[in-house]
Amino acid sequence: MPAQMPAVVVDGLENQFRLLKVWEAPDRDAFMREVASEVRGVALGGHTKVDAAFMDRFPKLEIVSSFGVGYDYIDAAEAGRRGIMVTNTPDVLTDEVADLTVGLLIATVRQLPQVDRYLREGRWLEKPYPLTATLRGRKVGILGLGRIGKAVARRLEGFGLPISYHGRNRQADVSYDYYPTLAGLAEAVDILISVAPGSAETDKIVNAEVFRALGPDGIFVNVGRGSVVDEPALIEALRSKTILSAGLDVFADEPRVSKELIDMEHVVLLPHVGSASVETRRAMGQLVVDNLVSWFAGKGPLTPVAETPHRR
């Protein structure tokens, strides 16, 4: 384990394996060189880049069990070429992230954090808070209609909002309107929600063109990956009122957040807490453990990623 993870992972793995806690070593590189020939599995939570050089260090490595749905910090294609399994933790966080997404959208449209600050500062005593925008009459576009994207869409259907989406391909079993280009989707809607994973394919695809298409009444919400957004273009779109507002749970250089965004009163910023409830994080941690236990029991991985397919 290169960096510390939740107690459910540490305790669960210590009960089953010899767990090498790299973060406790005075000299981490020296410690990893010392134990490299023994390591068959790695458990990590996004703190460590797993590329070809990392894999080269561990000649007996069989599996990397990752905490979270996104695994853009792992070169899973390279792992697949080497026969190294990569697993993640899908499904157990779907509802939590979808709930947070809807909450972030409402908070952004109705300016809930700003209203809260207004009251706490005693300004309600002076005059009522200004009127806000509304969800009524809006159309929603979703970038990345996977498990979480579909869960968000189902929730927003309950608000009476029409749903459209963009992805690599049209999904045959989905009734929502499909747009083959992201700019086309943005032009057709006034709320754009990104649930897209980080990858070379999605890097900075939400750009100035997309924000212009979204328009001056547009709301942008991102709960996927910060790398999907051209952050300087987003800042300029917010500054110039090319779009109305944004609600962001992810950023380009986490945990560092651009001062320009922090200084903007009309945006809502969260510190990547989409799945951050006690129950959900416990379930994610347990799945990290369960993948490793299942693999070393000879039963195969429970949740392999697409780049490293495995047939039981």
Q: Where are the domains of the chain?
A: 7-92+277-296, 94-269
pLDDT tens-digit series, residues 156-202: 999 999 999 999 999 999 999 999 999 999 999 999 999 999 999 99
Answer yes or no: is pLDDT of 311 > 70: no
CATH superfamily of 94-269: NAD(P)-binding Rossmann-like Domain (3.40.50.720)
pLDDT tens-digit series, residues 50-83: 999 999 999 999 999 999 999 999 999 999 999 9
Tokens of 48: 């460590």
Amino acid 15: pLDDT:
96
Q: How confident is the model at residue 230 (pLDDT cuts 50, 70, 90)?
A: very high
Answer yes or no: is pLDDT of 46 > 80: no
Q: What is the pTM of this model?
A: 0.92
Answer yes or no: is pLDDT of 47 > 90: no
Answer yes or no: is pLDDT of 310 > 80: no
The reply to whether domains 7-92+277-296 and 94-269 share a CATH topology is yes
**Which of the listed CATH numbers 3.30.1490.20, 3.40.50.720, 3.60.70.12, 2.60.40.10 matches domain 7-92+277-296?**
3.40.50.720
Answer yes or no: is pLDDT of 312 > 60: no
Active site residues: 225, 254, 272
